[in-house]
Amino acid sequence: MQKLGDFKLPHFFNYPPYFTLQPVRETREKQIQLWKELILDYCRTQKIFVIKLEEEFPLFSNSAIERTLSHEAREAFLSDLVAEGRAEWLDKGRRSCLILWHRIQDWADIIVNFVKDNGFEDSVMTVEEIRSGIESRGTSIHTFNHVNELDLDKFPFAKGKLAIFKGTSTDDEGIKFSV
Amino acid sequence: MSNFFSKAEVTSSGRPVFLRNEVERHLLSGVDLEPEDYRFSPLKSGILILTTHRLLWLPSSSATTLTSASSIPLASISHIFSKKSLKSVFHSPRIRFQFLVSSDGRVFDPGSGSGSGSSTGSGSRSVVVTAVVRGKGDCDGFLVKFWDSWRARAWESNETTGSGSGLASGSGAGTGTGGGLYSTDGSVRMVGVAGILRKEQEIWESTDKSLQDAFQDLNALMSKAKEMVMLAEKMRQKLLAGTSSQTSGTNDEEMGSKEEMQDWLLSVGIISPVTKESAGALYHQQLSRQLADFVRTPLERAGGMINLIDAYCLFNRARGTELISPDDMLQACSLWEKFDVPVMLRKFDSRVMVIQNKSHSDEEVFARIKSLATKPEALRNGISPTDAAMTLGIAPAMAKEHLLTAENKGLLCRDISPDGFRFYINLFPEIDPFNIYFVKDYGICITWIKAVSTSGKNALLNELIPTFMDLGSHTIVKTAI
């Protein structure tokens, strides 16, 4: 089986048209669907969170058949992921994309569980503390700060579990968990 | 009462089949042929075509198919009565002439070996016919050319060369054979190389003279050009205004003069503003039929489909003089919808226009493309327009159109790379997005994998084959997290 690192590639990865953005609607929809699955799979197994469009990304090229996805194609696939809620653009120029192979809600649950498991309820922590704390315990959410930057709304505020205190700088941001 | 005019052969597009060396000289529409003999039935409202050899009458397209095309050889005409201007206030212009009828009642045709042998007038009668010209058209011009053609006796040079090549009808030259430079009526005969040269000379001289005249006129015209253009514009506006405000109660005469004006404008070079609604000027109709006939041979050579531009070049080259403009070409092709011709104009999504046979089947082409795209070589490397062109036997530009159409139908996928623009058979429908590692052990996917894995750069896929064979149709399923 062809591999990219230790990631197993499907057979159609060697099919040249897979790397050309198809104009015919039906064909294109199928193509986009396959690429989305592949991107999510790859990122999940390789623990990749961010894809930068202008940089080399191993999944977007196949040297065996000498094909590479064009910028237009990459943007098309990632935009579709964003539309589906499985990714977020990190900048307005669409150069950088955060891949949410866990949905945001799942991330939120992970954080809450972490907090519960480690007894951090009812205490105020800074983002930095949480992040390094989580990291040091070996769980897989080391881009916690990215997530925080974006969509605080999506976090379980509504559940009344978190409250954010904004300081004068990012370092001063604190989160209080009341589980 | 049966029709004893000779039957004229007609092509499938309704154009007359011409004899060797026969050239069309003039055309009038809306003509009734009224013989002054009860044994010949009159022919109503057709197109009268004058050629160097015959007078042809074609039924108009609105007539029933029972009336067939008729012809009167100029050789059988013994007298033309009308000499000068035919216009009259009281009735439509008429041309009156007389032709010979042999003893069996048929029109005397000295070209064929029919009837009672070679000499004229033995036991034959003559019939007088009046051609009533009810349509528009240059009657005076027609008459002049009629006289010219009748006097030129072009069929005689035909016959002498014909008998020279050993035709079976021994009495082929009914009138005036034998040697000598002068025919029986005293005019210089156009035979042999000398004849050809003389003919060329005469043509040259007359062209020269008419050119001189034209230039005189041209100078005068140039000084009046501005007025003429204004006048023409006014006419055009009037036509436009007239048609749009027309009620259903317009009488025939007005319609006739409007059509006349359209034709006149057309001859000056101003396209009629109402050509879409009307059936198209007669010129375009005839051109359309002629084009349909002409395009058959190139179509066959090109495998059933030919680029419109290529057809245009070929057609104009064949015409030699009196070239048509691209607009005329387009007009002629669009008129095909209205006639029953075996060819059609087709516009692709890419806006390329082609002429193709009506019998052309897209399905058949797709079947051939599919079989080409599933060959091992094509599975590995795809197909380019050139490959398709060679297989289908058509031009590469046409082949590309077919490939694009096949792509639109979901049969093929495109692959754009530094190697160029290629097409592969479409595998996407076979792939299950919820099970991307799964491959059926039948169908196009496994065929593709097999074909591809035999080439060096895809050798890694070789490992796939045994896996599929062992596990049958239940291979690895992606586990969802």
User: How is B299-332 classified by DSSP, letter by letter?
Assistant: HHHTTSEEEHHHHHHHHHHHH-SSPPPHHHHHHH
Q: Is the minimum CB–CB distance between A2 and chain B shorter than 8 Å?
A: yes
Contact list in B for residue A1 (CB cut-off 8 A) is 460, 463-464, 467
> Which of A36-45, B23-32, B349-358, B470-479 is predicted with the least confidence, judged by mean pLDDT?
B470-479
Q: What percent of chain A shows pLDDT beyond 70?
A: 60
Q: pTM for this structure?
A: 0.53
Chain B (427-456) residues lying within 8 Å, Cβ to Cβ, of chain A: 427-429, 431, 433, 436-437, 439, 445, 448-449, 452
The pLDDT, as a whole number, for residue B463 is: 52
Taking an 8 Å cut-off on Cβ atoms, the answer to whether B436 and A37 are in contact is: yes
Contact list in B for residue A22 (CB cut-off 8 A) is 413-414, 428
Taking an 8 Å cut-off on Cβ atoms, the answer to whether B436 and A34 are in contact is: yes
Does the pLDDT at position B177 exceed 50? no
B137-150 pLDDT tens trace? 778 888 888 888 88
Q: Is the minimum CB–CB distance between B63 and chain A shorter than 8 Å?
A: no
ipTM of the complex in this document: 0.74
Contact list in B for residue A26 (CB cut-off 8 A) is 410
Higher pLDDT, residue B344 or A126? B344
Residue range B397-413: average pLDDT?
89
Architecture of the CATH domain B6-184: Roll (2.30)
Does the pLDDT at position B251 exceed 80? no
Q: Is the minimum CB–CB distance between A17 and chain B shorter than 8 Å?
A: yes
Gap from B345 CA to chain A (nearest CA, Å): 25
Question: At B313, is the pLDDT very low, low, confident or very high (cuts 50, 70, 90)?
Answer: very high
Q: How many other C-beta atoms lie within 10 A of the C-beta of residue B431?
A: 21
Does the pLDDT at position B13 exceed 80? no
Nearest to B408 among A20, A24, A30 (CB): A24
Q: How far apart are CA B296 and CA B342, in angstroms?
A: 9
Residue range B435-451: average pLDDT?
81
Give the count of alpha carbons within 13 A of B71, CB side only. Answer: 18
The pLDDT, as a whole number, for residue B312 is: 93
Higher pLDDT, residue B8 or A148? B8
The pLDDT, as a whole number, for residue A2 is: 64
Does the pLDDT at position A23 exceed 80? yes
How many interface pairs between A and B have CB atoms less than 8 angstroms apart?
Answer: 81
Taking an 8 Å cut-off on Cβ atoms, the answer to whether B461 and A11 are in contact is: yes
> Which of A48-57, A118-127, B356-365 is predicted with the least confidence, judged by mean pLDDT?
A118-127
For chain B, what is the mean pLDDT?
Answer: 74
B344-401 pLDDT tens trace? 898 888 888 999 888 777 888 888 888 888 888 888 888 998 988 888 888 888 888 8
The pLDDT, as a whole number, for residue A156 is: 44
Residue range A59-71: average pLDDT?
88
Tokens of B474: 């239940």
Nearest to A31 among B428, B439, B478 (CB): B428
Higher pLDDT, residue A32 or B256? A32
**Continuous segment of H or E residues that includes residue B378:** helix B376-381
Q: How many other C-beta atoms lie within 10 A of the C-beta of residue B371?
A: 11
Taking an 8 Å cut-off on Cβ atoms, the answer to whether B424 and A16 are in contact is: yes
Contact list in B for residue A99 (CB cut-off 8 A) is none
Q: Are B342 and B357 in contact (CB under 8 A)?
A: yes
Question: At B133, is the pLDDT very low, low, confident or very high (cuts 50, 70, 90)?
Answer: confident
Tokens of B71: 């012809």
The DSSP output letter for B341 is -
Nearest to A65 among B427, B429, B457 (CB): B457
B214-236 pLDDT tens trace? 777 777 777 677 677 777 777 77
The pLDDT, as a whole number, for residue B176 is: 37
The pLDDT, as a whole number, for residue A150 is: 42
B456-480 pLDDT tens trace? 555 555 555 544 444 444 444 433 3
Virtual torsion, Cα B228, B229, B232, B236, nearest 10 deg = -170
Contact list in B for residue A44 (CB cut-off 8 A) is 481
Tokens of B45: 């409202």
Chain A (26-55) residues lying within 8 Å, Cβ to Cβ, of chain B: 26-27, 30-31, 33-34, 37-38, 41, 44
The pLDDT, as a whole number, for residue B238 is: 77
Does the pLDDT at position B1 exceed 50? no
Highest mean pLDDT among A2-11, B265-274, B468-477: A2-11
In 3D, which of A85, A141, A91, A89 has the Cα closest to residue A113?
Answer: A141
Tokens of B418: 């530094």
Q: Are B283 and B263 in contact (CB under 8 A)?
A: yes
Gap from A174 CA to chain B (nearest CA, Å): 32
Gap from A104 CA to chain B (nearest CA, Å): 15
The pLDDT, as a whole number, for residue A151 is: 46
Higher pLDDT, residue B90 or B76? B76
Q: How far apart are CA A9 and CA B298, in angstroms?
A: 51
Q: What percent of chain B shows pLDDT beyond 90?
A: 3
What CATH number does the domain located at B276-357 have?
1.10.10.10
The pLDDT, as a whole number, for residue B452 is: 78
Taking an 8 Å cut-off on Cβ atoms, the answer to whether B452 and A14 are in contact is: yes
Burial of B413 (0-12, 13-18, 19+ CB in 10 A): buried
Taking an 8 Å cut-off on Cβ atoms, the answer to whether B408 and A44 are in contact is: no
Q: How many other C-beta atoms lie within 10 A of the C-beta of residue B307?
A: 17
Higher pLDDT, residue A116 or B392? B392
Taking an 8 Å cut-off on Cβ atoms, the answer to whether B464 and A8 are in contact is: no
B327-344 pLDDT tens trace? 888 988 888 888 788 888
> Which of A54-58, B52-56, B107-111 is predicted with the least confidence, judged by mean pLDDT?
B107-111
Tokens of B4: 């004893």
Residue range A30-38: average pLDDT?
91
Contact list in A for residue B464 (CB cut-off 8 A) is 1, 11
Q: Is the minimum CB–CB distance between A25 and chain B shorter than 8 Å?
A: no
Does the pLDDT at position B115 exceed 50? no
Nearest to B407 among A24, A33, A44 (CB): A24
> Which of B12-26, B177-191, B221-235 is predicted with the least confidence, judged by mean pLDDT?
B177-191
Does the pLDDT at position A117 exceed 80? no
> How many residues are there in chain A?
179
Does the pLDDT at position B268 exceed 50? yes
Burial of A15 (0-12, 13-18, 19+ CB in 10 A): buried
